[in-house]
């Protein structure tokens, strides 16, 4: 199993600003993922954070808007840049292989005003 | 396209049995997950089915039929704490391998 922490747990931000979300895992993991969950919606994968290389982004998400860092095997950050109210959502990091259980962090609840 | 369908909401009574269905149409299939998500919390893993049939784990069971593109989650002896959203997710190991998530079924367990 893996224990994941995220910071901040919630934030209220003004449009046009940026927020960096941190994800810390208690053990070394190969695969880390960033998801978005908007109210009443499903989990949407933003990107896979790769250690030592650029993140792999899903369709509809770009590096300029959601830059990701993965400096080591236990830590990653997701930045939500130039925010708009449409970015209001819960952002979740998770770890795990595709064919096994994924462990999720507690989430970061972001409100953009 | 890729599509996963689940009922939006279900209601059941404490002590009863409830079945939550999930149908999927995906370009590839390499397994199906069920997760539980309580309000304001992160999803937690319940089950993973790769082969057809029923997998039982305590009060929870999950069934898969690959030929029908169908799965269900069966919850027995319902407890109030089972009130949560239940998410179905399909793993597709194709060229763009990833998990495809359903919208989730919100289950309310009443006394």
A42/A20: higher pLDDT = A20
Alpha carbon B37 to chain centroid, angstroms: 11
- CA A75 to each of CA A58, B24, B35, B101: distance values in angstroms, whole numbers, following the listed order: 20, 34, 24, 25
Nearest to A99 among B31, B41, B101 (CB): B31
pLDDT at B1: 66
**Mean of the per-residue pLDDT values for chain A?**
93
Q: How far apart are CA A51 and CA A59, in angstroms?
A: 21
Q: Is A57 part of the contact surface with chain B (CB cutoff 8 Å)?
A: no
**A75-79, A87-91, B2-6, B91-95: which has the minimum mean pLDDT?**
B91-95
Q: Does A97 touch chain B (CB under 8 A)?
A: no
Strand partners, B23: B5, B70
Q: How confident is the model at residue A67 (pLDDT cuts 50, 70, 90)?
A: very high
pLDDT of residue B60: 97
Choose, out of A2, A9, A33, A43, the residue to mutate when testing the contact with B (most B CBs < 10 Å).
Answer: A43
Residues 6+ apart with CB under 8 A from B97: A98, B30, B91
- Is some CB atom of chain B closer than 8 A to the CB atom of A2? no
Q: What share of chain A is helix, strand, coil (3-state, %, to 5)?
A: 5, 50, 50
Please check whether residue B23 is in contact with residue B72, taking contact to mean a CB–CB distance below 8 angstroms. Answer: no
Q: Which of B30, B43, B101 lies closest to A99 in CB terms? A: B30
**B9-13 and B105-110: which strand pairing?**
parallel
Residue B3's CB is within 10 A of a number of other CB atoms, namely: 12
| Residue A65 confidence (pLDDT) above 90 | yes
- CA nearest A41 in B: which residue? B103
pLDDT of residue A51: 84
- Considering only CB atoms, B42 lies closest to which of A40, A44, A92, namely A92
Using CA coordinates, name the residue in chain A closest to B42.
Answer: A106
pLDDT digits (tens, 9 = 90+) for B6-57: 999 999 999 999 999 999 998 888 899 999 999 888 899 999 999 999 999 9
Model confidence at A22: pLDDT above 90: yes
Whole-number Cα distances in Å, B75 to A73, A92, A108, B49: 37, 26, 30, 16
Q: What pLDDT, in 10s, does the model give residues B80-98?
A: 999 999 999 998 877 667 7
């Amino acid at each position: 199993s893996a224990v994941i922490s995220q910071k901040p747990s919630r934030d209220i931000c003004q449009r046009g600003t940026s927020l960096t979300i941190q994800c810390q895992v208690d053990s070394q993991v190969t695969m880390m993922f960033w998801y978005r969950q908007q109210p009443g919606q499903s989990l949407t994968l933003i990107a896979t954070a790769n250690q030592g290389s650029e993140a792999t982004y899903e369709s509809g998400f770009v590096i300029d808007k959601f830059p990701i860092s993965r400096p080591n095997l236990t830590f990653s950050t997701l930045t939500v840049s130039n925010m708009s109210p449409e970015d209001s959502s819960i952002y979740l990091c998770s770890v795990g292989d595709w064919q096994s259980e994924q462990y999720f962090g507690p989430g970061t609840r972001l409100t953009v005003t | 396209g890729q599509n996963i369908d689940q009922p939006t909401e279900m209601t059941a009574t404490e002590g009863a049995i409830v079945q939550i269905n999930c149908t999927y149409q995906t370009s590839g299939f390499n397994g199906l997950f069920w997760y539980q998500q309580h309000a304001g919390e992160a999803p937690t893993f319940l089950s993973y089915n790769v082969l057809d049939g029923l997998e039982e784990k305590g009060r929870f069971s999950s069934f898969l039929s690959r030929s029908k593109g169908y799965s269900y989650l069966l919850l027995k002896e319902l407890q109030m704490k089972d009130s949560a959203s239940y998410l179905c997710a399909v793993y597709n190991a194709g060229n763009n391998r990833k998990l495809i998530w359903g919208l989730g079924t919100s289950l309310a367990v009443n006394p």
